[in-house]
Amino acid sequence: MSASARAGTAPVPDSPAPTAAVTAPVTAPAAPAAPASAASAAARRPPAVDWRVRFAALSLIWGFSFLLIKIGTHGFAPLQVTLGRLVFGTAVLGAVLLVRRERLPRGPRTWGHLAVAAFLLNALPFTLFSYAELTISSTLAGICNATTPLWGMLLSLVALSDDRPTRRRVAGLGIGFAGVLTVLGAWQGFDGQDPAGTAMALVAALSYAVGWVYVRRTLAGTDGSNVAMAGSQLLLGTLQLAVVTPLFTSFPASFPAGPLLAVAALGALGTGVAFLLQYGLVAEVGPTTATLVTYFIPVIATAAGVALLDEHLAWSTPVGALVVLVGAALTQSRTQGRTRGRAGGTRP
């Protein structure tokens, strides 16, 4: 999930982003809008690939992120999975910055805010999802990620004076959390679900929402392109994990091919390429359409987990996930109309 300096939408994660998550969030937490001149220049260039194809690709990339996290933890410690993800994601955006010859943002104040954003939108949620998937399914992790807009709406009522509650949005909040309880099988006392792993996944989604609120309040109006801001944020997140990881893990004794490729794909595609796809979609079709990708993520994550990892799927999981998505859609019903022309952000 990337910083969303001027984004009114939340990010879309794993990111994982943030709708009003993303970053993500969901809409995974979001990134700053490009300068008007850059946006107009991009508008004059016809896209090589139809936006529907790119939308589908983005949905698949983010939907498969939770499966890749699960595979990565089969060979590496959760912190190492997150560090590798950030390294590969930073490399992709760094290469784009070099090709475009774009400058990184300036000023210690901006970098300080980006450091906090990197922690809230990348380092913390990515790590929490990795730890969570040691004990919960990738399917459940993907559904927990979909609660980001619910947390975002709840926080916006407290932290953002321009986001006042409406009956529809409050109803969406209640419906969404009822969906979470359905997914977890609350009437059975959460039997079969690991409480610690589930809590970590939900806190990761909450972190996306907190990061989005923080970015909206501190980085709005900051100069710099989306790619430069996101690349700087990922770089700072990488440095944060590079300091912490050696303190809590030992150097891997081996580098198994499957987990290594999963981490590389998670970073290069799920964190690097996905941001570029999201930015292009926002610029072409607007944030309202672009952030609909959030609602496909848990569907794809569930299908991938069941088909490729043979994860068990009780009836309450898809039913609860549908209820969560309905609630999330209702919480976004008022803010979406005011975000046209602003960028979305990266996620899971």
Q: Which two tokens stand for residue 205?
A: 């989604």
Higher pLDDT, 223 or 14: 223
275, 211, 287, 271: which is closest to 7 by C-alpha? 287
The CA-based angle 313-318-323, given to 5 degrees, is 150
Question: pLDDT by residue (tens digit) across 63-112?
Answer: 999 999 999 999 999 999 999 999 999 999 999 999 999 999 989 999 99
Instruction: Answer whether 345's CB lies under 8 Å from 24's CB.
Output: yes
pLDDT, tens digit (0-9, with 9 covering 90-100), for 306-317 = 889 998 888 878
Question: Which residue would you say has higher pLDDT here, 3 or 113?
Answer: 113
Tokens of 272: 């690097």
Segment 143-154 shows an average pLDDT of 85
Closest CA to 346 of 294, 283, 300: 294
pLDDT higher than threshold 50 for residue 182: yes
- Summarize pLDDT for 242-259 with one digit per residue, the tens: 999 999 999 999 999 999
Q: Which of 122-136, 165-179, 195-209 shows the lowest per-residue confidence on average (mean pLDDT)?
A: 165-179
| Max mean pLDDT range (2-11, 32-41, 327-336) | 327-336
Selected residue with higher pLDDT from 44 and 62: 62
- Structure-block tokens of residue 256: 């198994």
- For residues 96, 285, 267, 147, the Cα torsion angle rounded to the nearest 10 degrees is 150
**Cα–Cα distance between 165 and 171 in angstroms, integer?**
10
Whether 345 and 62 have beta carbons less than 8 Å apart is answered as: no
Whether residue 168 is predicted with pLDDT greater than 80 in this model: the reply is: yes
- DSSP tag of 28: S
% of the chain surpassing 90 pLDDT:
42
Tokens describing residue 144: 């927990």
* More confident position, 213 or 134: 134
> What is d(CA 20, CA 310) in angstroms, rounded to the nearest whole number?
31
pLDDT above 60 (res 2):
no
Amino acid identity, position 239: L
CB atoms within 10 A of CB 316: 18
Average pLDDT over residues 124-151: 92
